[in-house]
Structure 1
């Protein structure tokens, strides 16, 4: 592979997001996946508002919205009675500053398919049935060996290969943390005979633990969740007895142990970890997939800048910014799992996550906005959205009505607030967005 390049190991949402971001910035990358075929299940079905903003920037928001829907309300079945409760997600109207305010349900396999389609449009592809077997690195490069005996040399390698990450093991790093449930869970995609699809159905008092059946949008499937021990090998029989509804077929299933674990380093030399390779979450709160996508989005522009000649020290900010985020999100996921609360509010939407303490953040406060915060959307007098102007590979500057200037990083976070016109950021030209905005009270 000629020129500067990156090897991405693992083609789930994290690896696909990173590959997309690098390709649109003109960086050569290779994306490999040990599995023989694409993932077919619904596992990470909840897309948080901040992730939707990233998908908007990557140019895939329309198919993502078309593929999904709002979270349904929960219906609790108590013998012959049933009670309709609230939803895990909100149904707020979009605002000027927050165009995607709600948790959006899309089966993970469909999210990955949309990301792959965009990758193909940019000239990239996923190499399936390609496993990494060895990694060696020097001061200047990384040498990788694959299961077919092929070798290649790249500038950087990123392990996005999940909770059982081969790359992480090769680095000698461990996922530290704890299991937060004594017994494993089963999650499966099933077709159910004559069950109403308008609600997320829960039978809380089944022997061995509750059974949940959540309708998956734009499919004929429900996502089944239950204690693995409660259903055993006879999933169909247990569900029929507990719910009165027959499973017609099971299209995918997985057993997992709810846990909160993470590594203590995101970088070892020229090798990085992202997504579940660096942190594993219980499904409560829908944080795992989303945190991985945002890992990739933080790392992508930094790798691109360094590969175009920027200082390698910029890559150290990936760990210093993302590791505290992962720790905080893991704590939130643990609390939600233990309390079983459906009242989430804004705690899980990831819009308030920030890099205020980062070495890349400087300047003054502007109303409630601080350097390191997510830049909110805003409309200009000509009707255009700020987010439309931010779509692309460069940092941007926008002027406020009060005479302040906001420097926005390529990943949409505020680098600096002040009166200075930067002209460039990290050694590269910024785009100056015409027009002025008022942001005193927007978040």
Structure 2
């Protein structure tokens, strides 16, 4: 079957895809946005929000992100196997503007009290879990009658001087249905490539992959390097009895480091843990919940049963890459599609 003709198809419903869609809708451009995932993603993922991104949210009128974000808390460094504090590290120090980095905090014109008071007095960055930011952005799309179509992936496309046509694969009740589409423009926000593993309460041991279909179909090169020895295990999980007023750190870079950070809701017991270092068994910790809880307990000195539901785990490999161009013809790429750090 054929879809209703829209001006733009946005492939991918992460922050970049949602912001692209919202920007177009606010300028009167009809948009269709799809995501291959069958459920909206959980997890804080990349939670840091830079000053320029805050200004984009302000331009778009997404006040909730500004109101509900928090500044980056200080890091309490603990002795291994203990909650004893050995040092305090300022996570978000004041940074002066320089000719090479003139925009280190939002311009006061775009400040929303009290959020920007945090920025102007505490430093440069705010923090909000990516799942929370995406939920807020989706609510703004809904005001324009635009909903993210889950379980829908881009299969193939071609373009001429006037249109982009192609096929989508739509999953309905476990069955795949082919759909043809025609749009004026296509925006690929489906990432570069990556892997997330979800445990226990959602699809045990399920691996979801994002392959960067748009980038590959355009033949864009992904210049740069992978940091093979800098993998991170990133976990979103429930932790009982840990302070939400600070970040927490154990270990050292020569062996293994555990950093645990709260989310933007001080009453929540869901934290993000980041584990890295040359002695970390990334595969084991990202695939075995029992081993993961044992590691967290050993490093922190907290009992194993303090670590509750595990919502998401990713074995993340940092990529320092960028595409050779940002699009071709009527097809463009945005977000993690064109640059990844």
TM-score, length basis structure 2: 0.76
**Aligned with residue 229 of structure 1, among 281, 296, 308:** 281
Please state how far the C-alpha of 1:76 moved relative to its aligned partner.
1.0
Deviations 1:92-132 (A, max 9, x none): 99874462444111100000000000000122111110001
Distance 1:5 1:195, change over 3 A: same
SS at match of 2:269: coil
> What is the match of residue 87 of structure 1?
91
Distance 1:155 1:93, change over 3 A: closer
Q: How does 1:154-303 map to 2 (within 5 A)?
A: 154-164=183-193, 165-205=212-252, 208-218=255-265, 219-227=268-276, 229=281, 232=285, 233=288, 234-245=291-302, 246-281=306-341
- 2 CA distance for matches of 1:251 and 1:3? 37
> What is the match of residue 130 of structure 1?
152
Please state how far the C-alpha of 1:151 moved relative to its aligned partner.
0.5
Larger Rg: 1
Contact 2:240–2:269 (Cα < 8 Å) also in 1? no
Please state how far the C-alpha of 1:184 moved relative to its aligned partner.
2.1
Deviations 1:310-346 (A, max 9, x none): xxxxxxxxxxxxxxxxxxxxxxxxxxxxxxxxxxxxx
- 2 CA distance for matches of 1:193 and 1:37? 27
Deviations 1:249-289 (A, max 9, x none): 211111111120111011111111111111111xxxxxxxx
Please state how far the C-alpha of 1:4 moved relative to its aligned partner.
6.3
Please state how far the C-alpha of 1:75 moved relative to its aligned partner.
0.9
> What is the match of residue 196 of structure 2?
none
Contact 1:35–1:130 (Cα < 8 Å) also in 2? yes
Contact 2:76–2:247 (Cα < 8 Å) also in 1? yes
- 2 CA distance for matches of 1:174 and 1:251? 34
- 2 CA distance for matches of 1:185 and 1:93? 28
SS at match of 2:141: helix
Distance 1:89 1:163, change over 3 A: farther
Deviations 1:389-431 (A, max 9, x none): xxxxxxxxxxxxxxxxxxxxxxxxxxxxxxxxxxxxxxxxxxx
SS at match of 2:167: strand
- 2 CA distance for matches of 1:152 and 1:244? 55
Please state how far the C-alpha of 1:67 moved relative to its aligned partner.
2.6
SS at match of 1:87: coil
Contact 1:90–1:103 (Cα < 8 Å) also in 2? no
Please state how far the C-alpha of 1:145 moved relative to its aligned partner.
0.3
User: How many residues align structurally?
Assistant: 280
Contact 2:251–2:299 (Cα < 8 Å) also in 1? no
**RMSD over aligned Cα atoms:** 2.3
Q: Which has the higher contact order (CA 8 A, sep 6+)?
A: 2
> What is the match of residue 53 of structure 1?
55
Q: Structure 2 regions of 5+ residues with no counterpart?
A: 96-103, 170-176, 194-211
Q: How does 1:64-83 map to 2 (within 5 A)?
A: 64-79=65-80, 80-83=84-87
- 2 CA distance for matches of 1:258 and 1:17? 24
> What is the match of residue 7 of structure 1?
9
Distance 1:144 1:89, change over 3 A: farther
Contact 2:52–2:106 (Cα < 8 Å) also in 1? no
SS at match of 1:190: strand
Contact 1:16–1:116 (Cα < 8 Å) also in 2? yes
Distance 1:89 1:236, change over 3 A: farther
> What is the match of residue 125 of structure 2?
103
Contact 1:71–1:89 (Cα < 8 Å) also in 2? no
- 1 CA distance for matches of 2:340 and 2:161? 30
Structure (1 or 2) with the greater strand fraction:
2
- 1 CA distance for matches of 2:70 and 2:28? 33
Please state how far the C-alpha of 1:2 moved relative to its aligned partner.
6.6
SS at match of 2:13: coil
> What is the match of residue 200 of structure 2?
none
